Amino acid sequence: MENLLLQVFNGLVNGAFFALLSLGLAVIFGMLRVVNFMHGALYMLGAFATYLLGTSAGVSFWWALVLAPLAVAAVGIVLERLFLRRLYDVDPLYNLLLTFGLTLVLQDTMRLRFGIQGVPYSAPSLLKGAIVWGNLLFPTYRLFVLGFSVLICLLTWWVIEWTRVGMIVRAATENPGLTRALGIDVDRWVPPVFAFGVALAALAGVLAAPMRNVSPLMGADLIVTTFAIVVIGGLGSILGSVVTGFLVGVIVALGAVYYPPVSNTLVFVLMAIILLLRPAGLFGSLE
């Protein structure tokens, strides 16, 4: 029983990364209709930005939580203005290919500089140690990751549901053509929305830096599962991506305990079942 509780906790922590990543993907897909394949690479850049800010400028983890996502978002805006926007009018497949190519470029650039093993980064002293609860030991840093990610997801949900910007994003997601005809310059909102989605990926990278090895391929391992989560949750659904992110984190963790060989396959089995029963995903609607 206690072991189960601990595994659910670890699953939720893993789910926190999935939730931030798939939320960013969902926001970007909704507004741009772009399947951003380089999302994992941007997560990786977030982790490296944290490491570089720390080693070369002495920036603390706390400041990196703000500065690294801003820096990676700036990279994202440059890539969007330089490359992505030229392909909005053609088949979405082209942007998938483009972002796949950019992923390889970003990964190999970091590999040339840092090698394949990656670099270590330690958690701030405030978050070291663990909180003991009965016989259970909860690492403080993991608790922080979980709490912080839930906070960011709630904040994003609030912005999308309750602000004018969020209303425009919802309208443009549902029907970009009509939204333009109602006097809204949809295209003006594309770079900031893209930057926001990228910042979420980078933020997940910052949170990952002290927990996982900071390495050029750290995003590649995660992105495939993240895509499965977005499909399960319903393409472009904000709520769906967050809920499914946490759900899949827990499922993978439990699978690893009870029957390790299927742990990584479980997500895709779930995806296949959901696609059969609800082709639009758990929270999606068919257009």
Partner 1 sequence: MLQVEGLQAWYGESQVLHGVDLEIHDGQIVTLIGRNGAGKTTTIRSIMGIHRQKRGRLILDGVDLAALPPQRIARLGVGYVQDDRGIYSGLTVHENLVLPPVVSPDGWDLDKIYDAFPPLRARARQPGTKLSGGEQQMLAIARVLRMGAKLLLLDEPTEGLAPILVRRVGEILREIKAHHLTVLLVEQNLRFAVTVADHHYLIVNGRTVESLSNEEVERREQELLEYLGV
Q: Among 181, 276, 277, 286, indicate the residue that binds partner 1 (CB under 8 A).
A: 181
**Helix (H), strand (E) at residue 81:** helix 61-82
Q: CB-wise, 68 or 282, nearer to partner 1?
A: 282
Q: Among 183, 276, 277, 286, indicate the residue that binds partner 1 (CB under 8 A).
A: 183
Q: CB-wise, 1 or 181, nearer to partner 1?
A: 181
Residue 182 sits in the site that holds partner 1 (CB under 8 A): yes
Residue 179 sits in the site that holds partner 1 (CB under 8 A): yes
Q: Among 58, 134, 177, 260, indicate the residue that binds partner 1 (CB under 8 A).
A: 177
Q: Under a CB-based contact definition with an 8 Å cutoff, are residues 145 and 207 in contact?
A: yes
Q: CB-wise, 15 or 30, nearer to partner 1?
A: 30
Closest CB 175 distance from partner 1, rounded Å:
7
Q: HSE, CB side, 13 Å, CA atoms: give it for residue 152.
A: 28
Closest CB 188 distance from partner 1, rounded Å:
9
Which segment (135-143, 170-178, 194-202, 269-277) binds partner 1 by CB under 8 A? 170-178
* 165 Cβ contact partners less than 8 Å away, ≥ 6 residues apart: 159, 189
Bridge partners, 132 (sequence order)? 137
Residue 280 sits in the site that holds partner 1 (CB under 8 A): no
Bridge partners, 138 (sequence order)? 131
Angle at 63 between CA 160 and CA 40, to 5 degrees: 60
Q: Among 178, 269, 273, 275, indicate the residue that binds partner 1 (CB under 8 A).
A: 178
Give the whole-angstrom CA distance, residue 284 versus residue 237.
6
Strands (E), 167-231: none
Q: CB-wise, 117 or 285, nearer to partner 1?
A: 285
Burial status of residue 91 (CB atoms within 10 A of its CB: 0-12, 13-18, 19 or more): exposed
Terminal Cα distance for the chain, rounded: 44
Closest CB 106 distance from partner 1, rounded Å:
33
Residue 261 sits in the site that holds partner 1 (CB under 8 A): no
Residue 167 sits in the site that holds partner 1 (CB under 8 A): yes
In eight-state DSSP terms, residue 119 is: B
Q: Under a CB-based contact definition with an 8 Å cutoff, are residues 156 and 23 in contact?
A: yes
Q: Under a CB-based contact definition with an 8 Å cutoff, are residues 42 and 72 in contact?
A: yes
**Helix (H), strand (E) at residue 173:** helix 164-174
Q: Among 33, 85, 111, 170, indicate the residue that binds partner 1 (CB under 8 A).
A: 170
Q: Among 180, 258, 265, 273, indicate the residue that binds partner 1 (CB under 8 A).
A: 180
Residue 156 sits in the site that holds partner 1 (CB under 8 A): no
Closest CB 159 distance from partner 1, rounded Å:
14
Which segment (107-115, 122-130, 181-189, 263-271) binds partner 1 by CB under 8 A? 181-189
Positions in the binding site for partner 1 (CB under 8 A) = 167-168, 170-171, 173-175, 177-186, 285
